A and B are shown apart, each in its own frame.
Chain A
Amino acid sequence: MVMQARGVMPKRGGNVSIKMLLLNLRTFIALLAVVVFFSATVPGFLSEANLIIMSKHVALNAFLAIGMTFVIITGGIDLSVGSIVGLSGMVAGALILNGLDLGPVGYTIYFSVPEIIAITIVLGAILGIFNGLLITRLKVAPFIATLGTLYIARGAAMLSSDGGTFPNLIGKAELGNTGFPTLGTATVLGLPLSIWILIVVGLGAAYLAAKTPLGRQIYAVGGNERAAALSGVRVDRIKLFVYMFSGLCAAIVGLIIASQLVAAHPATGETFELNAIAAAVLGGTSMSGGRGTIGGTVVGAFVIGVLSDGLVMMGVSSFWQMVIKGVVIIAAVVVDQFQRELQRRAALQQQ
């Protein structure tokens, strides 16, 4: 993609090319701006501990945003991720505390923590596949299909405990299911485990998007679905994959949050989907599909995360925080439109 982007840039008219460069790097510049701003205004903002903590906060939104980016690139949307976060946490919590009751057999299975993590992630993927099937087989519009799943998953999360919290998820030695909090609290080489997982998932997703045929096909589906289908892309499978991946990412977030809090609450993750969409858009993903990068999305997630953490540390009223967040998102899209117009003109000039 880097090569293609450069290829479009006109060689003459250096003024335009600088503007183009700045526009292309706008998310990164925005990140730089917020970081510099807060390090000047908030004491202790740039300390190593605070940077790590902020990255940990950002990681949660970044997971969701990565999954969301693929979905948006195909021209879809996934509103159910916040609810899947909540449900995944509840499933993990229930499996640790209560095990899986086999009903009439009269026995309860208690899984070990790695198994619980695997089950939860598979469940997230299954919910994603459910979204995908609704969209591909039953031709439900993505907005509606995932809205339905949003309600179903949230309701199921509430039902799982009658609205209560699954507390104290430390497991029991005699049941062999201790160690769940490790996921949220362990550090490797000074970095929290969740950041390492983000690095792995992020690099994997970026590689998948940029270097693999599957990645190219995802862009193709979003760019022009019919053209992609005609050129042999199995559009339905691609869509199934992106929703599955999005659900899987949501399950990872649910697990990390439940592990960090050592408790699972069914309302966890409300409105997370909107933050994920915002991060993707801020990172240059086009809502009409076909355009976007994982790197851009991760930077977008950092902009939003650093902004909200910084405003919190400054003690700005939460109502103003909302206003500022909204302004930043709108500004990002306006700049995005401006850039595309500029590109179009540059391309015309070249011809």
Chain B
Amino acid sequence: MDFRQLALAATMVVSVVGGVGVAHADSGLIAIITPSHDNPFFKAEAEGAQARAKELGYDTIVMVHDDDANKQMELFDAAIGRHAKAIILDNAGADATLTAVQKAKDAGIPSFLIDREINATGVAVSQIVSNNYQGATLGGQEFVRLMAEKGTYVELVGKESDTNAGIRSSGFHDIIDQYPDLKLVARQSADWSQPTAFQKMETILQANPDIKGVISGNDTMAMGAWAALKAAGKTSVILVGFDGSNDVRDSIKEGGIKATVLQPAYREAQLAVEQADKYLKTGTTGVAEKQLMDCILINSQNAAKLDTFALK
């Protein structure tokens, strides 16, 4: 084998592709790890954290784990390899995340959790948790009010393997099930996805053409369901979502979808960065590890004030 030739070729490849370098600032790097940005909610979260970190003089690296705990572990390895100063994390599972956060802690990197919590304390420095359950009860109460406490309804559930799908569903049911005149006629998972929700809604409408309401575990599914209801000419059906996305806000303003629940994602992300900054500078955040952030009901009265997961 001609290693001279090989070496030459390798050098050529390197000289073509190896010209770029990554600049790095002095105050350190903050790793921001969230689920995939194809959901605007997580994108807003990542952008909120990134913007605040830049303001405070940090470099940022934004990574997504696609709700795969194994990939999340790999991203933690990458963050440790890059000697990040802190990790801002919207995690991929209350139990499966524990090892990754512990690993970062052992490597001297503090983690600040947003949106979802983990089932342990003392491992992460902060857990700023979206109170999904409280939000779901808000949505449930509004749904009950809109339905006038009676009628048939359909529930669209998120991805069954996702903790929040279960939490939101039980929040809805804790309220709705106290009203015996509200009858659940179909309950289907639509995997948090707009096209899946559209298809499932169309099918459900075939079997139950006279439903009065639909309650959805998130806004993307609500948008899919709304498209199906609109196509079937059933725009009087009461539809309530969850998340507070701009799409659903616009639909509420037009009188389509009736209500949604806002999780203050942008604010949570910024708060986490602020706490990380304080922790890095003083060694303490000054607040309890677990902090519950309440959700806010969005309906026609306050929809106009909603923008990118924050009330203006």
A36 touches B22 (CB 8 A): no
A44, CB-defined interface residue at 8 Å: yes
B93, CB-defined interface residue at 8 Å: yes
B residues in contact with A22, CB < 8 Å: 5-6, 9
In the assembled complex, the Cα of A29 lies from the Cα of B7 at a distance in Å of: 9
In the assembled complex, the Cα of A158 lies from the Cα of B6 at a distance in Å of: 49
A315 touches B161 (CB 8 A): no
In the assembled complex, the Cα of A309 lies from the Cα of B81 at a distance in Å of: 10
Total interface residues on A, CB under 8 Å, equals 50
A41 touches B99 (CB 8 A): no
B207, CB-defined interface residue at 8 Å: no
CB distance from B40 to the nearest CB of A (A): 14
In the assembled complex, the Cα of A169 lies from the Cα of B201 at a distance in Å of: 39
A167 touches B95 (CB 8 A): yes
B280, CB-defined interface residue at 8 Å: no
What 1/0 flags go to B86-119 for Cβ under 8 Å of A? 0000000111101110000000000000000001
In the assembled complex, the Cα of A158 lies from the Cα of B191 at a distance in Å of: 13
* B82 CB contact (under 8 Å) in A29, A33, A56, A313: A313
What 1/0 flags go to B2-40 for Cβ under 8 Å of A? 100110011001100110111010000000000011000
Tell whether A29 pairs with B81 under 8 Å between CB atoms, given A165-B94, A268-B69.
no
A residues in contact with B162, CB < 8 Å: 163
B2 touches A18 (CB 8 A): yes
B2 touches A318 (CB 8 A): no
Tell me which residues from 87 to 132 in chain A have a Cβ below 8 Å from any Cβ of chain B.
none
B61 touches A21 (CB 8 A): no
B83 touches A36 (CB 8 A): no
Tell whether A33 pairs with B13 under 8 Å between CB atoms, given A163-B160, A270-B68.
yes
What 1/0 flags go to A28-61 for Cβ under 8 Å of B? 0100110011001111110101100100110010
B96 touches A261 (CB 8 A): yes
B73, CB-defined interface residue at 8 Å: yes
In the assembled complex, the Cα of A280 lies from the Cα of B265 at a distance in Å of: 41
A315 touches B6 (CB 8 A): no
A residues in contact with B165, CB < 8 Å: 163
A residues in contact with B21, CB < 8 Å: 40-41
A178, CB-defined interface residue at 8 Å: no
In the assembled complex, the Cα of A43 lies from the Cα of B36 at a distance in Å of: 25
* Pairs A–B under 8 Å by Cβ, sample size 5: A29-B10, A50-B81, A57-B74, A314-B22, A315-B61
Known: A22-B9, A42-B22, A268-B70. 12 other contacts (CB 8 A): A36-B10, A40-B21, A41-B18, A42-B82, A44-B83, A49-B81, A56-B77, A60-B70, A166-B95, A167-B96, A261-B73, A313-B81
